[in-house]
Structure 1
Amino acid sequence: MPAVSVALARRVPPPPDGATGRLAGVLADTHGRVHRDLRISLTDRCSLRCTYCMPEQGNEWLARQSILTLDEIEEVARVAAAAGITTFRLTGGEPLLRRDIIDVVRRLAAIQGPDGPIDIAMTTNGIALPGLLPALVDAGLRRLNVSLDTLRPDRFRELTRRDRLDDVLRGIAAAAASGLRPLKLNAVAMRGVNDDDLVDLVEFAGAHDAQLRFIEQMPLDVGHTWDRARMVTREEILDALGRRWTLAPVPGRGGAPAERWTLDGGPQTVGVIASVTAPFCGACDRLRLTADGQLRNCLFSTTEYDLMPILRGGSGSPRARLDAIDGMLRACVRGKLPGHAIDDPGFLQPQRGMNAIGG
């Protein structure tokens, strides 16, 4: 899309009385799933270069003028909250690279939905947490997920192409001391790479009052080099952990992406997100907003719904603008398929990598 210059000096107000149109109805798709979680990507840039996400060099970054402004993010978020979204998860790339990240959290945390304040969560690599976490908590951040695939410095450098493990560990220590709970650590399990780290990662998480969540490697890398044979499956993860602990399933998963198990009766738990071998599409309640204003109804979707003409069109009444955003949200939800069909022979990997989609 061509770049559109726009000056937004205003603070986005709540929708005026009588200007909400259809905004009271929940975001339900044609398969009966009600959507309550919006993942908001703030940037496609990252301070790491994880091998399963992006190449070390040659990345085609989004043009700066195409990135949503804070006012635009807030406007979409207000409409989403009025339509029943109860959680905003801030993602990237690395969301803490965004210079206005404190203001993003503060303004989104001030939004009220029909049932009260919105829950503000974030997924991060943790590198910038020590310097920013007090202000983030003060602004309204309530939950954190930190990515950590290995505890071995040499392996971390190879995986991320950066020597930043000590920085990540300091970020996790700051998160553990902050009182934000639940604190979750995310690890992508890869055969021959970190599959011998699984027990160590769980023990590290327990020492930091955190829950480790293992994620099956998914076909979301920019270079399209995903190889199913290198993926460590849910059953393999559970088998490895079962040799160290007695696992018992935690009931009541709901729409959560992770299945959870207690370790030796609890209280510590471990989670597995098995998007490939045990998809949870039937209970999915998530939508995604990319950093350049595209709505996505599935992480693996090849279709996007473009909000930019609405946000930067510069015409129409406040009511028409709000209704247009709401209409696009509902069109995106209506277009959601029953599942991602990774196992279908005709499955096509999204053109965007995870850093440009948002986690």
Structure 2
Amino acid sequence: MDDFKRYSRQMLFSPIGEEGQKNFSQSRALVVGMGALGTAIANHLVRAGFGHVKIVDRDYVEKSNLQRQMLFDEEDVSAALPKTIAAKKKLEKMNSSVEIEAIIADVNASNVSDLMEEVDFVMDGTDNFSTRFLLNDACFKMNIPFVYGGAVSSRGMTALFVPGETPCLRCFIQGGEGTTGETCDTIGVISPIVDIIASYQVTEIMKYIAGDHEKLHRSLMTMDIWHNHSYAMKFSSPKEGCPTCQTNEYPSLKAGAKQDITSLCGRETIQIQLESHFDLKEWASKLEKTTTVKKTPFLLKAQLEEGERLVLFPDGRVLIQGTEDSGRAKALYARYIGM
């Protein structure tokens, strides 16, 4: 009865009805990335009553996120909460019947398969093509639908890729090359395009899970809401020789266990992971001798005399903020952490 009250307007929509709502409640989602797209996606999934929503992100909340990342507020910034922890707190207040699983991690070739175990679909809330191609490869290898989405400036793209039924992301965007390098941190982004793309992503997976497959868009949709452009590239046959959906090579899964050094989306931040674990209490006592330290239960910030900042996570990751030079980042890592 409580479910009927909560979802009554959604169930009155005949393509969903009681059966579709039951399907939602039994579905398990993985949302990779809790930034602008990811927070909007998770908001829709949880309010719609999808039974289990696993959220994964490697970052923490900063003030510049608040303009478009709907699950965060100024208290999250002050507490330097990891995005998944802050999001989980908000999502659980929206719908206590949905199981929210929050994971603080960098998604890479070494853990993506484990993260995708027992999920029914994967939602793209990421901000870079290397992770998107990783998800695309893993989904097609594991036979899991992948809902791609991206937004920057006033432009956005989205598509639902279903193994065995549709082409994959690589059929449209080859290997990650040719991407412009434009990010929200270099050319900006307006919040409405994020909301629109996330809404399309969730609508397509709702159609799929509800069983209304005839209404699926079956295209790669692109739009620019400021300059009033939109285009849908209808799916045709997969690209001949596609290494993901045709020859089953899955190149992103073979790229190595993980990238030790990664530049994060134009944010003047380099991520380095050479360790598997950090004891934050121990490292706070080490670093407070030469840096200004702020420790939370989830991370440790160290402001360096050189001007940059180190952010240590329990899973062994370190963010070097304030530089895009990997050589400089490695030098600071070696000086304060050791290599």
TM-score, length-normalised on structure 2?
0.28
- Quick check: which one's helix share is greater? 2
Higher relative contact order (CA 8 A, sep 6+): 1
Task: Decide which structure has greater strand share.
Answer: 2
TM value normalised by structure 1: 0.26
